Amino acid sequence: MPGVAIQFFIVSLCIGQSFGTEITIVWIITSIITSTILAIATPPIPGGGLSCYTILFTQLGIPSAGIALVISIELLMDAFLTACNLAFLQTELVLSAKKLNLLDEAKLRK
């Protein structure tokens, strides 16, 4: 779920800045690592990422009032992220098939 990891990082950066959280290089590294772990652990259901924001914001010292703001944004971005994740999955499938010489490029070009 690379799209979700990117979303977690960007949202934490924006909400952290909006609420006046001090953003340092250690904070950014912590945000990237935590976002990656949470993206792996996110349940694959609509709105599954909402439960992860509490963990992310607590870890980064962002006030819990930011979760209310994220809930309204998440509903709009969830459909877009689903499309991104499916596109990443199909791209990975084609690249893996090409690496294993299972891809018939001549047929694909027709």
Reduced 3-state DSSP string for the chain: CHHHHHHHHHHHHHHHHHCCCCCCHHHHHHHHHHHHHHHHHCCCCCCCCHHHHHHHHHHHCCCCHHHHHHHHHHHHHHHHHHHHHHHHHHHHHHHHHHHCCCCCHHHHHC
Count of structural domains, the chain: 1
pLDDT tens profile 6-63: 888 999 999 999 998 899 999 999 999 999 999 888 877 777 778 888 889 988 999 8
Q: Which residue has the higher pLDDT, 21 or 108?
A: 21
Domain of residue 104: give its range. 2-109
Predicted model pTM: 0.71
Per residue in 64-101, pLDDT (tens digit) is: 888 888 888 887 777 777 787 788 888 888 899 889 98
Residue 39 pLDDT? 87
